[in-house]
Structure 1
């Protein structure tokens, strides 16, 4: 039997470009290992930070080195270069690809944009479609859907860039409202960024003002959430219409909160799998994770994050990540490894789920 040709799509235009390369390296290794080597042919496709798509030797080099690669600014005659970053890639350039495995983190990668393009190309792809991806990226839309689904969460307030920048008379009143509704500490987040980029924990009026201004530089929509004293639990979900939940894991860290540096610096955070919680709490987390997955119309994979408030026994959903980090040390594959599914088997299942859907 001929091998299934898998287009591994990585890089991208977001601030998580380097993380995407690391995830792609792990997936590429899995596709070439164990039984996968006889089932799949790997075809890497790299998206430069300026949006140009590259395949062939150049993409292979990026995957091997783990370092972003930049072509000279002048025009090139390379056959590996898809001509214009301002145009959609010509599907005929990738006609040999039978299923796509996009591992593009952040905006322009997991927010529904690339999923829409792949849908137009009429080729199966791993992960959620346009709706699930868009909702999974937009924290405000996500929370509204969670609310409709009856999932408990922290108090929050939506803010727009215009409220922060356009009218100096509105801004003090806005800060008054946030203080009255949410109090301190609270978290200020851009609505559409991943990996904790642009997020600030604030404890005073001056910190709130600075954080709002900073978040507005990243996104026109901002969310402010009440802080809670809680343990951070995570659960992985795998499947399409009948998804399954993994064991529950816990993240602990010494920093003030789980920011970008803590996430991607070795030794900054500890993962405990399974989490040391009661069976009742673990089952509640699993049930809520699957419910959230179905509520946003996710597919293939997702990691769902929770707050566990031990004092009250509450489990509060934080967010769903429809394209989580996929390095060998990332929480998503580790949760499934603890649930009895190896990294290479997990990659195989995801490709099969894409073909099934």
Structure 2
């Protein structure tokens, strides 16, 4: 099977994408797949890297390799793959499947999925609508609320309103939520990029100012004092939920650095909550996954409140991290599905979904 692995990308999560892709490349069965590593620079240039191994992807050396080949992925079903441009010629490589290991904008927002749909190429993960809806946290909120799943109370702030009347937006957000602290989150960023905890009006204004540098829409959410837990979901029409893992960051909350740079953060599998709470998280993860129309995979994050043990939805990640310390592969490893077997299942689900649609 000719399998392209897309990594890098134009988002703020470029480096994390490379780390995830490196782990995937190390664990793909080389006897089963003919692998085409395709890196996308921060500027949006595509390169096929024929001599690129996992280490080169992880350390960024792939961008400096002399033998990388400019590549295109045209939305033309007769091509059904990559066009490689070298030595004044254009060579076509027909692909069987694509694994887009692209976090954030350009990867999880439905754009790359739209290109692959037009090209008629099967791909791992959620479709266009599910990707777009789960990437935009404000849209996710509406869908999850309709599904009847408890989530943090929130206020949606818009850049246009903030630029006209910043004091008014800050005051309205504070009044709507009623108490500090609150969390400020850009609607379409992942890996906690741009997230800030605000303990008063001044910090709320600062958090909104920074968040609006990254997005046109920003959520201000109530603070939930609880265990931060995560559930991995796998499947198309009959998805299954893993056991539940818990993140115990040593920093004040699970920031970008806590996720990827601070090795003192601890992961517990299973989570340090009751069996009944674990089952509630699992069932709610499936409800959210189904309501958003996800397929293939997603990681669904929750809080379990310390005071009352209530399960509260946080967010869904349609292309979760796949690094060596990422929760998604670890959760299914705990279920007896090792990393290489998990990758095989994801590719098989992509092929099943593609052929089932046609």
Identify whether the pair has TM-score above 0.5, normalized to the shorter chain: yes
**Partner Cα separation in structure 1 for residue 249 and residue 54 of structure 2:** 35
Q: Structure 1: which 5+ residue stretches go unaligned? A: none
**Partner Cα separation in structure 1 for residue 311 and residue 115 of structure 2:** 37
Instruction: Tell me the CA shift for residue 164 of structure 1.
Output: 1.2
Distance 1:258 1:304, change over 3 A: same
Residue number among 53, 62, 74 corresponding to 2:46 in the alignment:
53
**Partner Cα separation in structure 2 for residue 243 and residue 328 of structure 1:** 24
User: Which residue is equivalent to 2:14?
Assistant: 17
Residue number among 344, 348, 355 corresponding to 2:351 in the alignment:
355
**Partner Cα separation in structure 2 for residue 265 and residue 58 of structure 1:** 28
Query: Are residue 177 (structure 1) and residue 145 (structure 2) matched?
Result: no
Residue number among 276, 279, 283 corresponding to 1:280 in the alignment:
276
Distance 1:92 1:12, change over 3 A: closer
Alignment of 1:72-87 (within 5 A): 80-82=69-71
Distance 1:62 1:339, change over 3 A: closer
Secondary structure of 1:82's partner? strand
User: Which residue is equivalent to 2:89?
Assistant: none
Query: Are residue 123 (structure 1) and residue 112 (structure 2) matched?
Result: no
- 8 Å CA contact retained: 1:46, 1:59: no
User: Which residue is equivalent to 1:210?
Assistant: 206
Alignment of 1:200-239 (within 5 A): 200-239=196-235
**Partner Cα separation in structure 2 for residue 9 and residue 229 of structure 1:** 37
**Partner Cα separation in structure 1 for residue 54 and residue 343 of structure 2:** 22
Provide the alpha-carbon RMSD of the alignment: 2.1
Query: Are residue 30 (structure 1) and residue 19 (structure 2) matched?
Result: no
Residue number among 234, 250, 253 corresponding to 1:257 in the alignment:
253
**Partner Cα separation in structure 1 for residue 51 and residue 58 of structure 2:** 11
Deviates more, 1:325-334 or 1:52-61: 52-61
**Partner Cα separation in structure 1 for residue 166 and residue 23 of structure 2:** 46
- 8 Å CA contact retained: 2:22, 2:58: no
**Partner Cα separation in structure 2 for residue 115 and residue 349 of structure 1:** 19
User: Which residue is equivalent to 2:194?
Assistant: 198
Residue number among 4, 20, 36 corresponding to 1:7 in the alignment:
4
How big is each residue's C-alpha offset from its partner over 1:117-165, in whole Å with a ceiling of 9 and x where there is no partner? 1111101000001011111110000011000111100100101001111
**Partner Cα separation in structure 1 for residue 55 and residue 111 of structure 2:** 23
Instruction: Tell me the CA shift for residue 51 of structure 1.
Output: 0.8
Taking structure 2 as the reference length, what is the TM-score of the superposition?
0.90
Residue number among 325, 338, 351 corresponding to 2:334 in the alignment:
338
- 8 Å CA contact retained: 1:48, 1:69: no
Alignment of 1:299-314 (within 5 A): 299-314=295-310
Distance 1:62 1:14, change over 3 A: farther
Query: Are residue 159 (structure 1) and residue 157 (structure 2) matched?
Result: yes
Deviates more, 1:56-65 or 1:337-346: 56-65
**Partner Cα separation in structure 1 for residue 253 and residue 31 of structure 2:** 43
How big is each residue's C-alpha offset from its partner over 1:87-127, in whole Å with a ceiling of 9 and x where there is no partner? 87974515321100110011111110111011111010000
**Partner Cα separation in structure 1 for residue 148 and residue 131 of structure 2:** 20
Secondary structure of 1:340's partner? coil
**Partner Cα separation in structure 2 for residue 154 and residue 61 of structure 1:** 39
- 8 Å CA contact retained: 1:129, 1:298: yes
Alignment of 1:132-151 (within 5 A): 132-151=130-149
**Partner Cα separation in structure 2 for residue 211 and residue 8 of structure 1:** 36
Residue number among 219, 240, 257 corresponding to 1:244 in the alignment:
240
Taking structure 1 as the reference length, what is the TM-score of the superposition?
0.90
Query: Are residue 318 (structure 1) and residue 314 (structure 2) matched?
Result: yes
